[in-house]
Amino acid sequence: MKIGLLPSLCLALSIAAFISLVRAQDEKPVNTVAVEVPAAVKTALQREAEGGRLVELGRVNEDGRQQYEATVSHEGLEYHVRVNLQGVVVRVELKDYNAAEDQSLNQLPATVRESFKKLARGGKVENSRRQRLSYSFETRIDGKRYAITTDELGRLLKKELQQDDNENK
């Protein structure tokens, strides 16, 4: 009879340990990276998540290169953040960056509607879509060249490391 209690006791202890681990993780500051990652990666992710919170973290292999990819929630938007093992931010991209929404012709601004009708030369305008208005620029951050794209409100849509063929080999 004592042997029958041992598996139940182990299961109960495992569940209790798991619950205390989950509670302990919930009590950590939102910008704390709890997963074992290289210090440079941790620092880069904490910097990119500043003002937001880290939702998910995983390791990926792209073109034979180990990298970390995180999902960061910031001001109601979710971003995918890719960092290499040296802590260099490779890419930050709004989760639905390429999303476009179907709109009827009547929902479009009047100037756009008139332009579409003119360009269609009497044909019926079908499948009109609204895409994000975006602005792009290039800059250097920590000695690395990045292309950055924002929307019309200045919210980050995409930040991508620009590499020459001989960089970061």
Q: pLDDT tens-digit profile of 49-61?
A: 888 888 999 999 8
Q: Is residue 103 part of a domain?
A: no
CA 85 to mean position of chain CA atoms? 18
Half-sphere exposure of 112 (CA within 13 A, CB side): 11
Q: What is the pLDDT of residue 15?
A: 41
Half-sphere exposure of 5 (CA within 13 A, CB side): 2
Percentage of residues of the chain with pLDDT beyond 90 = 31
- Per the structure, the count of domains in the chain is 1
Tell me the pLDDT tens digit for each residue of 91-103.
999 987 766 677 7
Arithmetic mean of pLDDT, 16-20: 41
Q: Is residue 48 part of a domain?
A: yes
pTM (two decimals):
0.61
Which residues constitute the domain of residue 86?
36-97+132-161
Q: Which one is predicted more confidently, 72 or 18? A: 72
Residue with tokens 């999303």: 99
CATH for 89? 3.10.450.40
Q: Is residue 110 part of a domain?
A: no
Question: Is pLDDT at 169 greater than 50 in this prediction?
Answer: no
Beta bridge partners of 141: 144
Arithmetic mean of pLDDT, 121-133: 79
Q: Is residue 166 part of a domain?
A: no
